[in-house]
Amino acid sequence: MPLIRLDKYISQRSQLTRSQIKALCARGKVTVDGAVVKSSDTKIDPETAVVAADGAQISSETKRYILLNKPEGYVSSTEDGDGPSVLELVPEELRTKDLFPAGRLDKDSLGALLITNDGDLAHKILSPKRHVSKIYIVKLDRPFKSKYVDIFESGVELASGEVCLPAKVKMVENCEKLAFIELTEGKYHQVKRMFAAVENHVDILMRVSVGGLILPEKLGFGQCMELLHKDVENLLRPLDFDAFCSEFSGVFSAILINK
Ligand code: URA
């Protein structure tokens, strides 16, 4: 197995950035096989090295974070079910057998889906207690009504009797059948059921952000990209809904209009 730099080894397996690792090394807080290593560019054998940073052992397994722009027709599970699994879209060179989709998008839904092997991060993104928001753009069957804003803000009641947490919704300017909606929870078919509760119908649904991570315009349907550290950190950051809608309505409405 070729040797790799210590900072690369740690950054691939933890949330630490290379500059944090460098600083920890300089302070004598990083050990390899029990010996302090002060220089973060030291080469180590990733197969055998036992590395600890700031008193905690670094897992020998690589953490992987992949953002997929999900196309329709794929299911958000690890195995093929009612259609091929989204995992089939992960390029060979990024695949490991422990990857799973962190969250669900319906078979006919589109957009941002995180695929990872980091169970802790997935839990943080999905737990309603963390309030990590997800923004969707929808194409509606009938024109948007301004009353949706208050209804969704006060917690819409679904046909099942379940009451949703307050959600923000905004019509795309000059496009009365397009709207953005921000949720901080993930009930089954939630967006579709929320619009059904106000007697509308979602024809197309696309997730455009997870936390502070916005789906890049250049990532086409069916394409994946490996996330950089700053992108992974962004997943847990808040995003200003109104500012997002103003800045990105042009980009995402063009994508939906052309669907
Ligand atoms: N809400 C839905 O209705 N479907 C999805 O795929 C995601 C959110």
pLDDT at res. 13: 84
Q: Is 110 in the pocket of ligand 1 (CB under 6 A)?
A: no
Q: Is 178 in the pocket of ligand 1 (CB under 6 A)?
A: no
Q: Is 205 in the pocket of ligand 1 (CB under 6 A)?
A: yes
In degrees, to the nearest 5, what angle opens at C-alpha 238 toward C-alphas 215 and 140? 55
Number of domains in the chain: 2
What gap in Å lies between CA 185 and CA 176, rounded to an integer? 26
Q: Is 190 in the pocket of ligand 1 (CB under 6 A)?
A: yes
- The pLDDT of 160-176, averaged and rounded, is 96
- The pLDDT of 71-79, averaged and rounded, is 92
- Owner of token pair 């052309």: 258
Name the average pLDDT for the chain.
94
Q: Which residue range is the domain that position 52 belongs to?
A: 4-57
Active site residue 106: yes
Tokens encoding 53? 């940073």
* Cα 7 to middle of ligand 1, angstroms: 39
CATH number of the domain bearing residue 116? 3.30.2350.10
Q: Atom 3, ligand 1: which residue's CA is nearest?
A: 189
pLDDT at res. 199: 98
Q: Is 105 in the pocket of ligand 1 (CB under 6 A)?
A: yes
In degrees, to the nearest 5, what angle opens at C-alpha 76 toward C-alphas 92 and 129? 115
Q: Are residues 48 and 85 in the same domain?
A: no
CATH number of the domain bearing residue 11? 3.10.290.10
**90 pLDDT higher than 80:** yes
**80 pLDDT higher than 80:** no
Q: Are residues 42 and 115 in the same domain?
A: no
DSSP-derived secondary structure letter, 14: S
pLDDT at res. 14: 82
Q: Are residues 113 and 51 in the same domain?
A: no
Q: Which atom of ligand 1 sits closest to the CA of residue 192?
A: 3
Q: Which position among 7, 33, 106, 118 bears the catalytic label?
A: 106
* Cα 138 to middle of ligand 1, angstroms: 10
pLDDT at res. 210: 96
**By the 8 A CB rule, do 91 and 224 touch?**
yes
Q: Are residues 235 and 121 in the same domain?
A: yes
Residues 6 or more apart from 99 whose CB is under 8 A from it?
A: 64, 66, 78, 87, 90, 115, 116, 117
